[in-house]
Amino acid sequence: MQKKLLYINGLPRTLIVNLEDSLAKVLREQLLLTGCKVGCNQGQCGTCSIIMNGDVVRSCIVKMKRVPDEAHITTIEGLATPDELHPLQVAWMAYGCAQCGFCSPGFILSAKVLLDGNASPTREEVRDWFQKHRNACRCTGYKPLVDAVMAAAQVLRGELRKEDLLYKPVDNKIYGTTYHRPSAVQKVTGTWDYGADVALQMPQGTLRLALVQAEVSHANIKGIDTSEAETMPGVYKVVTHKDVKGKNRITGLITFPSNKGDGWDRPILCDEKVFQFGDAIAIVCADTEEHAKAAAKKVKVDLEMLPAYMSAPAAMAEDAIEIHPGVPNVYFEQGIVKGEDTKPIMDRSDIVTVEVETYCSRQPHLPLEPDVGCAYIDEEGRLTIHSKSIGLHLHHAMIVAGIGIEPEKCRLVQNPTGGTFGYKFSPTIEALLGVACLATGKPVSLNFTMYQNITYTGKRSPASVYCKLAADKTGKLLAMETDWWLDHGPYSEFGDLVTLRQAQFTGAGYDIRNIRGQGRTVCTNHAWGSAFRGYGSPQAFLASEIAMDELAEKLGMDPLELRFKNIYRPGATTPTGQVPEVFCLEEMFNKIRPLWKAAKERCAKLTTPEKKRGVGFSLGIYGCGLDGPDSSEAWAELTPTGVTIGNSWQDHGQGADIGTLTHAHETLQPLGIKPEQIKLIMNDMAFTPNSGPSGGSRSNVMTGNATTVACQMLLNAMRKADGSYRTYDEMLAENIPLHYDGKWTASMCTDCSPVTAQGDPFPIYMYELFMPEVEVDMKTGKAKVVKFTTIADIGTITNKTVCDGQIYGGLAQGVGLALTEDFEDLKKHTSLVGCGLPFIDDIPDDMEIIYNITPRENGPHGAAGTGEGPLSAPHPAILNAIYNACGVRIYAIPALPSKIKAGLDALAAQK
C-alpha cells in the first residue's frame, strides 16, 4: 500500500492504494467514479480512457505504481456538468453517438485531448487519433463519432453555438427528426449506470460471484470436489447443481413439433456432462471478487473426456456419439417446397444454371460491456434479477422452472445495457444469479471478464448453404434448389427457428416460382448458437447473392440488371409464398443504378497494379417479428403533469427510449403535450407489461403499435363530445380511468410449415441494397472497404439519427463479418482483437445512406424496423467486390488476407 496525492477532476485527493491495482479499479471502486467504464480490461477497447497529465490513458492497463504523485486526472465526471455540457458531449447527443453509450465517456475524453492540441483537425486526423488510442465502438460504425468531433471543433473555434447542435422541435413535432434520446445526457456524462456500476452500488453484505467453468468441450462429470475452495478466505458458499432447487435446466421453449429434442438440454450448472468450453460447473460466493476467483481455482472437477465435435460435419459423422443421449445430433429438419418440382426444370437443355456452396462463420457479438448482473430478494419477497436481458418475460419463462421458483416470485429487470447485438436474446447469467441468490439467501453480483464473455456466451450459428439457380437465356429465374446444415452448438434453444430462416431468406427478393430445399440443425460441442443481428439471413444471403453474381457472369449480364429483372413486383411472392407488403425494390434499384455506374467507373480509374479496386452489389431483406401472430403490450397513464408510458421495450443501444417517446408523442399530438411531459417507465417486470423480446427488428413495429394503441385509448377516454379533451382534473371529477393497457397483434401472420416453409411469417419487411467499393492489396491479399453506399426502405423514419446509426453500425458489423471476425479457435479467438473486432481504420468513413420511404400499412405511423436489415447482406456484396477487383472468389468467410492471397497465387499459376 502507498499513500498518493492525486488531483482528481481539479481537486486534491489523498488515496491509500495498492500499487498493483489498475488506475481504473481505483477510480471506480475507491472513488466511485463509474463514468470510467471497463470493457476488455486489456487496453484493447478504450472504454476506460481518461486524461492524465494532458494525455489520453487507457486506465485499465495503467497500474498505480505507474501513476506519478500529484498527477492531474480528468474523468468524464470532471469534464462538465449536466447543466453546462462540453461541446463534445452536446455533439455526441446531437449526432446519436451514444447508442448503447458504453464507449462514449472514453471517446469524448480522447477527443478532448485531440482538440486541445489541434483545434482544426481533418476527418482523417480524427480517425487516426481514435485508431492510435484504440477507441473502439461496436454500435455506430464510427462515422457519427467523427461527425460529432468535427462539429464540436467548430463550436470550440466559435463558428457554431453548441445550443444549435441539438434539434429543437418545430410545431411540437419530433417524429422523423433528429431529436436526441432521453438517455443521451446520462450517457455522455457517464452517469448511465451499467451492470458493473450497479454492482458497485449494492449494499454491504452482497456476495461477489466467480464461476468454475469447463476448460474442455465435451466430458462426463465423475465428481466435483469443493472442499478446499470452501475453506478459502472470504468464501461463504460454493454452489453446485446439488443446490439447485428446480430442474437445473434452461428451457428452449420448443414450439416446433418436429424438433426431436424437448428443449430442456442446457444445464444451469453442469451435473452429468460438460457440453461446451466455458460451461458453468460451480459458483463460488465470497465477500470479494478476488476471494471468489481465488477459491474457484481450488474446485476440483473429475472429468471423463469424450470426443468433442467442433463442427457440424464431425457431429453428423456415422460414428459420432449423441451429444445429448437419446436425441440425435441432427435434431431438426426444415424443408421448403414452393411451386413445381425443380428437377425437370434443372434438367432442361435450354436453361443456364449455377451452383455455389458457402460457409458463413461463427461470428462473435463482441459487445464492449461484458455480461454482468446482480440478484436479491426484494421488498415483496421476490427473487429480483438485474441483467442485460433483452427479453425479460421470455427469459422469465425460460428459467423459473430450472431455478425452482414460482413464476410470481421471480422478477427480472433490465439494467442500462452496453450493447448485445442479440446474444442476450438467450439467458446467460440470469439463472446463475438466481440460483446463487436462493442458495445463499444473500444479494449477489456476477461480472464476466471479456474472456468469459467471448468464450461462454452464444455466437452466430455457422451454416453451410448450397444454392443452385436456374434461369432462361434472358436471365429470368425459373427455379432454385437449396441444401443446408446449421451448426447450433450444444443447446437447442431457437435452433429450429434459425434453420427455418434459411428457407425464408435464401433467394429472397426475387420472383422464384419453383423452389425445393432441405436443411438440418446440428448439435455440436462448439459455442451454442444464439441470436445475432440479421438472425439467419446472413447465412442465407451469402449463398444466394453470390449465386446471383455468378449467374450474371455466366449469362453475360450486369449483376445489377439481372437482379432488377427478377425482383419482387406485383404477382411475385416470397420464398414462403407470402405476398410482400410493399413493392419498393424497383424504385430502389432505379435510385442506385446511376450510382452503380459511377462506382464501376471510379473503381476502374483508381485501380493500380499494386492495389485493385472493385465494386460489389447485393440485395438484403429481413422480416419484422418473431414469426406468426407476434404481439406486444404497453400502457399509458394520464398524470397531473403529462402522460406516463410503460413498456418492456428492452434497449441495447437501438433506441427503445426514443422509439417509445416518439410514437407516444406523435399519437398524443391532439393534446399538445411536449416531449418532456412524457415520462417513460421501462423494462421492470414489477411495473411493465410483456412487450416481447427486443430482437428480430420487431420492437419498433410490435411495441410501437402497442404504445400507439395505449395512447389512442387514453385519447378516446379524454375526448369530449365537442372534440376537445378533458384535463386531468376533469378526468378525476368524472371518475374516468387514467390508465389504459394497449396490445397489438400481427393477426395477419401465420407460422411456416416445417415441411414446405410456406406461410405468412412477418407483417412487415425491411429492404436494403448494398454497394461497397473494395480495395485489394495484390501483394498481401488484404481487402479493405473504402466506400459503402446503401439504399434502405424501412417505411417512415421514426427518428433519423437513430436509423442512421443503426444502418452505419450494421454495415460496420457486415464489414467485420466479411473480412475479419470469427470465433473458431479457442486459443486464438478469445479477445476483442483476436476475434477480429473492426477498429475505425477498418471501416470506411465514406458511407452513404439513401432512404426510399414507403409507408407500411401495419407499422406504427408507417414505420418498419431498422436494425436487422443492414446486416442481412452486406458481406456477399463485399465478396462480390473482391471478385470484381481481383478475380478471386471467396465462399467461406471471413475473407482473410491469407485466403485472398492464396486465390491470387492460384490465378497467377494458371497464367
Active site residue ranges: 868
Phi, psi of 113 (to 5 degrees): -65, -40
Q: How far apart are CA 306 and CA 682, in angstroms?
A: 46
Cα–Cα distance list, 816 to 293, 620, 903 (Å): 33, 17, 20
CB 451 within 8 A of CB 826: no
DSSP designation for 739 = E
Query: Which residues have C-beta within 8 Å of that of residue 674, sequence separation ≥ 6?
Result: 169, 172
Strand, helix or coil at 624?
A: coil
Q: How far apart are CA 208 and CA 372, in angstroms?
A: 11
Distance spanning both ends of the chain, measured CA to CA: 69
Per the CB < 8 A criterion, the answer to whether 183 and 416 are in contact is yes
Cell readout for 895 is: 475473407
Going by C-alpha positions, the residue among 150, 363, 143 that lies closest to residue 806 is 143
CB atoms within 10 A of CB 406: 10
Q: Which residue has the cell 452489389?
A: 617
CA 375 – CA 691 distance, rounded (Å) = 22
Residue type for position 361: S
Q: In what order do the strands lie in the sheet containing 11-17?
A: 11-17, 2-8, 72-74, 49-52, 55-58
Cα torsion through 587, 592, 593, 596, rounded to 10: -160
Which residues are CB-neighbours of 218 under 8 A, at least 6 positions away? 273, 274, 275, 276, 305, 306, 307, 308, 309, 323, 525
* Amino acid identity, position 315: A
Among 788, 783, 795, 770, smallest CA distance to 873 is for 770
| DSSP character string of 517-538 | EEEEEE--SSSPB---TTTTHH
Q: What does the block give as the cell for 607? A: 485501380
Q: What angle do CA 290, 404, 626 make, to 5 degrees?
A: 95
Reported as type and span, the H/E element at residue 441 is: none
Within 13 A of 99's CA, how many CA atoms are on the CB side?
A: 30
Does residue 395 contact residue 407 with C-beta atoms inside 8 Å?
Answer: no
Query: Where do the DSSP E strands lie in 229-351?
Result: 235-239, 249-250, 266-267, 273-274, 280-286, 300-305, 330-338
Residue 574 CA to residue 756 CA, distance in Å, equals 13
Exposed e or buried b per residue across 579-604, where buried means at least 16 C-beta atoms within 10 angstroms of its C-beta:
ebbbbbbeebbeebeebbeebbeebe
Name residues whose C-beta falls within 8 Å of residue 321's C-beta, 6 or more positions apart in sequence. 306, 307
CB 239 within 8 A of CB 436: yes
- 820-851 b/e (C-beta count within 10 Å ≥ 16 → b): bbbbbebeebbbbbbbbbbbbebbbbebebeb
Distance of CA 416 to the CA centre of its chain: 15
Report the distance separating Cα 522 and Cα 500, nearest Å: 13
Q: Which of 309, 135, 303 is nearest to 225 (CA)?
A: 303
DSSP at 644: E
How many residues are present in the chain? Answer: 911
Take residue 251 and report the three cell numbers written for it.
Answer: 428451457
